[in-house]
């Protein structure tokens, strides 16, 4: 009988230990799950992040920088102001063109700089209505030019320097 009572006491002690362990593990699991839902407050370091789209948000959680790839094989990146309006974009197309765009607060492109696969590099300035008013280009053969346009997008003045250094000063307005 005494042996049975000793075994019952041992089982009771073992049962208390098991209950304590189960309760402790349950608390740990619940706390771990809760902690995983909290936002990270520390810095992170990675060797590589692979994704199809990436966003950077400000302290208020507003999207401010975006980077993505496109279905056609191109890629781009954009910067947004505090109101969510895109202000700067960078794009690379599958055919080799690369462009940088600056937009005003209304979303109208005002400045564009780019290079094309065929060797042309250029920059254009637009008015508030999106019409090109000035353009500067260089090509792969050494020609460099600057053009001015009127409010109706008509070429008014064009100047250039040929690859051999010869200046060209044609004017489209007769002066």
Q: For the chain, percent helix, then strand, then coil, each to nearest 5?
A: 20, 40, 40
pLDDT at 41: 67
What is the spatial distance between Cα 40 and Cα 50, in angstroms, rounded to a whole number?
20
What is the per-residue pLDDT across 118-172, written as a single tens digit (0 to 9) for each?
889 999 999 999 999 999 999 888 889 999 999 998 999 888 998 898 888 765 5
State the Rg of the chain over Cα: 33
Supply φ then ψ for residue 86, to 5 degrees: -65, 130
The Cβ of residue 110 has, within 10 Å, a number of other Cβ atoms equal to 17
Helix (H) or strand (E) holding 7: helix 2-37
- Region for 127 from its dihedrals, namely left if φ exceeds 0, alpha if ψ lies in -120 to 50, beta otherwise: beta
What is the per-residue pLDDT across 78-124, written as a single tens digit (0 to 9) for each?
999 999 999 999 999 999 999 999 999 999 999 999 999 888 999 99
Q: Candidates 3.90.930.1, 3.40.50.2000, 1.20.1070.10, 3.30.870.10; correct CATH number of 54-168?
A: 3.90.930.1
What is the per-residue pLDDT across 8-24, written as a single tens digit (0 to 9) for each?
777 777 777 788 888 87
């Amino acid at each position: 009988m005494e042996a049975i009572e000793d075994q019952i006491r041992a089982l009771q002690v073992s049962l208390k230990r098991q209950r304590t362990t189960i309760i402790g593990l349950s608390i740990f699991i619940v706390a771990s799950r809760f902690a995983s839902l909290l936002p990270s407050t520390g810095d992170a370091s990675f060797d590589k992040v692979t994704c199809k789209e990436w966003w950077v948000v400000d302290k208020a959680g507003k999207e401010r920088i975006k980077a993505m790839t496109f279905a056609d094989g191109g890629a781009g990146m954009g910067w947004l102001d505090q109101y969510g309006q895109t202000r700067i974009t960078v794009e690379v197309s599958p055919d080799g063109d690369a462009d940088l765009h600056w937009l005003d607060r209304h979303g109208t492109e005002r400045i564009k700089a780019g290079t094309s696969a065929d060797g042309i590099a250029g920059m254009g300035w637009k008015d508030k209505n999106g019409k090109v008013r000035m353009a500067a280009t260089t090509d792969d053969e050494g020609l460099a030019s600057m053009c001015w346009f009127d409010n109706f997008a008509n070429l008014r003045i064009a100047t250039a320097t040929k690859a051999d250094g010869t200046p060209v000063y044609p004017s489209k307005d007769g002066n």
